[in-house]
Structure 1
Amino acid sequence: MPRPHRVLGLVGLMVAFLLLGLLSYRVSEHYGIEDMREKASHQLDILGAAIDSEVTRHASIPSAVELNPDVVSLLRAPSEEQDIRQVEANRFLQKLNDHLGGPAIFVLDTSGTVVASSDWIFSDNLLGSDLSYMPFFRDAVRGTPARHYAVDHVRHEPGYYFALPIRDEAREWAIIGVAVVKSGIREVERRWLAQEAPALIVDRNGVVLLASPPEWRYATLGPQPLDALERLGRQQFAGQPLGAISLDINLDGADEGRIVRLPKHLRDDVAPSQGARPYLAMARHLSGAAWRIVVFSDLRPVGIQAATHAALSIAALGCLLLGVLYTRQRRRLARGREEARAMLERANQELELKVEARTADLSDAVAGLQREVQERQRAEQTLRAAQAELVQAAKLAVLGQMVTGITHELSQPLGAIRTLAANAAEFMRRADLVTAEKNLAIVEQLTEQMGHIIGPLKTFARKSPAVSTAVDVAQAVDSALFLFESRLKKESVVLERRIAADACIAWCDRNRLQQVLVNLIGNALDAMHDEPVRRLSFSSERASSGKVALAVVDSGCGFSEEAVAHLFEPFFTTKQPGEGLGLGLTISRDILRDFGGDLMAGPAPGGGARFVVLLPPLPSDHRETLP
């Protein structure tokens, strides 16, 4: 070609090379970004499924807590009985927590105070904490199940909370409390911090919960008002400062992929001294946790790949061999993408199978808990029936021990009645009616005396269900002492009775209280049998909790510290073999607890034993009816 044509040809060829290179670059960049978007989408699917499974796997636990009778009893109980009910509820929550492996489970009353918790055995437990400011409590107490990310103010550990209102069937399904499960996110943090590329988990308020790099944690996507951030910090993050860093990243359209550049103040956290590199931001919503996952994929490899493709396209225009090699390279890359896609699909299928298996395990656990609740209810009914039979047997055993004394008490009046009746008949035959009338009057007095002896015995021996009424503690003590009157005189026991009549009125079952006192008096007399000084004292006072405290103190041999630890265990006794079954104190404490009382024991000052019977006070609606 002539020289001018060669120049034009070279210029045209250079322009063709440049246009082909530019076109190849754009096309390769487009496909590279699409390929990265697809990989990022699969990565988000796997991460989202794993995080959703880890966070929400304890979501069904509050339903099991709501069905537990100990929890319902605790929320129903008045303030003076909550100390007793709280122990059973704490133990149930601890067992449930140990069975499920890790979550913190606790119960709040309607004021937002933690009244039972699975971590009650630790010093930094949540008992008594006020969580009324937490969003999940406010939603649940209004009747809406809630789930929320928050940081507790006791251990300052983040977690995901599931809250469910507890309704009382006996009060027309009114809300009496809230069951809450705190699901740990340590596994999520471990997975998340292992990400090499920048990644975020953002809540609905635009606050970064987890981030790689970790310096972005508790930052905000954009500037927010300080008062809103302070309110969120108090309600969800235990007062930790939020918004110290604003990422200033616009994520509109990130669900389909968006190219962003990190602001200058964030570049040193990711890649120091490498300038403002472009990133492909991909976002995915987690419906179960109300979170948003954002992954930033570095586009620098895509740019390098596009430049390479452009160079290869230019070389392919002049060299068919390089074009063939370029085609083979493309096929190899396509096979690699297909293999990666197949691996991701297999991993996704395996993850779905694991999720199904975990769900089935949780369903089996809930069914097992329901069966256990039913079995415990049946066992409790059987136990109450057996306890009632043991109480009646104990009464009859006490009456059997007192047969000799009762016979002696009745034989004297009967002999006197027989003599006086014969004398009255003789005086009437002699027409001495005045003397006969005096003899019959004495017979009447003796008959009334025998009625006073038999009346308490009939009341004590009667088998009746426990019904709480207003009971004069002094009168109950007198009735129990009457049954031991002959034995007290025979053994020369000094009685100290510092209880005024009508001074202490308790709300309990009179017959059951008398049975407990008979058991305590009998034990005291047995303990003082070989002592030179036998003293038995009774006193009562009002405890700080409002309950009536009745103290029974003897001067017997007392008991050791080891015996105190096992005193209320069934079949434990300090008596000689054959003299007792070791059930009296256990039954007595169960009787008192049935109507809201309790029984405590300890050494008495100066030697001997001291038992304290705690009895519930008279309800406010019955106090006005007393004279």
Structure 2
Amino acid sequence: MFRAFFLPTFPRQQLLAFRSGLFNRPALVYTLGTVLLGLAAAAVVQVYAWSAQQGYDQLNDMLEHQLDLYAGGLESELGKHEYLPGIIAMDQDVQALLARPDDMKQLEKTSKRLSSLNVRAGAMMTFLVNSTGNISAASDWYQQDSRMGRDVSTLPYVREALQGRPARYFSRSAERNTPEYYFAQPILQNGAVLGVAVVKISLDPIESTWSASITQSSHEMLLVVDENDTVIIATAPEWRNQHAPRLPMSGTAVLRSQGPNAALILYAAQSRAMPHQGWRLVMLASAGNATVNALRNAIGAGVLLAFVSLLGLFLAQRRRAIASRLKAREALQRAHDLLEVRIAERTAELHDMNQELLREVSERKHAEQVLRASQDSLIHASRLALLGQMSAGITHEISQPLTALRSLSFNSQLLLKRGEMARIEKNLQSISALTERMGHLTEQLKSFSRKTPLALRPFLLADAVDATLLLLENRIRTEQITVHTVIDARLRALCDSNRLEQVLINLCANALDAMREAPARTLSIRVWHAGGRAHIRVEDSGTGIPDDVLARLFEPFFSTKLPGQGLGLGLAISADIVRDFGGTLRASNIPGGAAFELDLQLCEEISHV
């Protein structure tokens, strides 16, 4: 409707001229800026007042809810002990003691009765005052500092109860600085006061619970104020026994904090009257957050209004930028067309290069597969060569048990004819042990000679050492080699068990070869972990490794043995196997021999052993 009414009266050219003249007048622009600034200031003030009121209302609602809980807890604690003086006043032992104050047996019985009631009620102390104001019986009668016999007639709650009125009294212990509350009930007979029953309870659990639930960092306080406006209980210790100003039942109040760094603080306050005790329960919370939030909202409103104003200026300038953008777009389109032609040419070149690269990758993968197959075959051949070198020892290991089996079997036939069953049973046990030993050896040989692809899995290094020593057992025994092992039996590493055994057999066999002419022959094997890696070290007491040989030790086909005793591939293959495991094989000379050490990846489950 606006456009239909105004457009026929003002043609488009006139409107553009009017708008151009309007925004080119400095005085009008200054006036509009002043008006907008005034509107922004008024909006900031209004938003601040509204946000502050909302924050105070929410804070008061929260305080009112918390105050109901704390007031209920305090009244419940006082109410559960209020009945106790009346029960004591009606007790038969109490009545009997007041009637016969000189009866010592009755005095002892009444004091024990008060102790029992005191324990069951959870009170601090319960005592009986006679008509002259002296304590005639008390729950602490058995203690050395018992109050039995003391004159308490000057105490206000005792004095009021001796006048025939129930009394209550609050005080803070001078020794422990804890709040205490007294209930006093007159004991009447025919209108005369015979005595007073008094129960003392501690309000320290309530004060401690309040202090624990309302921390100083929350800027909240809970106060209990008596009829003289004195703070008797407070979650903030510095407010205790201080004079508290008259606070509103609901609203805000400015209070000066206690202590050396006293300052004026704006609080939200809620109060609850406790007319039965003459107290007021006051809950205070700092209103600083509400003020800060209101200030933030006001600043946000000002920023938003400024943003809207700037947005209007931006839209006015935007139309001017559209024309220049159109020109730039045409130039950009021309550049884009030229760039597409160049991209197409470059894409064709990259496609040809990619095809060539794929062909090279395929050829390299094929070569890698052939190399891997050759390497596996070479490793298997090396393993079989090791078995060939150990064939004499293995044959001896098998032939000895076979000879023993034949002898035991022939002996058992003779013993069977004689009926000597005990000796036959002993022979059968020996036969069983020999067959188990032969089975373990043949299983180890089958496992070692099997051609399997590389498969890394957690493996106990102690098992690999045991299998190596088993296969070399005959040679070690024949050559009188002393074997010394230090092995962490729990250590697991990520490796292939068959290939690791091949490496260890190679290293141990070379160590045995190096010690043939040595006067003392000691083979040492150590397995440990350090720095998150598993380490295996094989040492011998041979002649060591010359420096020129040490530099070329892991080269393929390099050997210091006589022709026909080796191809020079054992250490090179062993180094490749350890490298496939993710580790390294190193050689070094040590005092009185040589050492070979390899490291492996340690399994996670024992990395913190």
Q: Aligning the two structures, in what range does the TM-score lie when normalised by the shorter sequence?
A: 0.3 to 0.5
Give the TM-score of the pair, scaled to structure 1: 0.42
Kindly indicate whether structure 1 or structure 2 has the higher relative contact order, using CA contacts under 8 Å at least 6 residues apart: 1
Give the TM-score of the pair, scaled to structure 2: 0.43
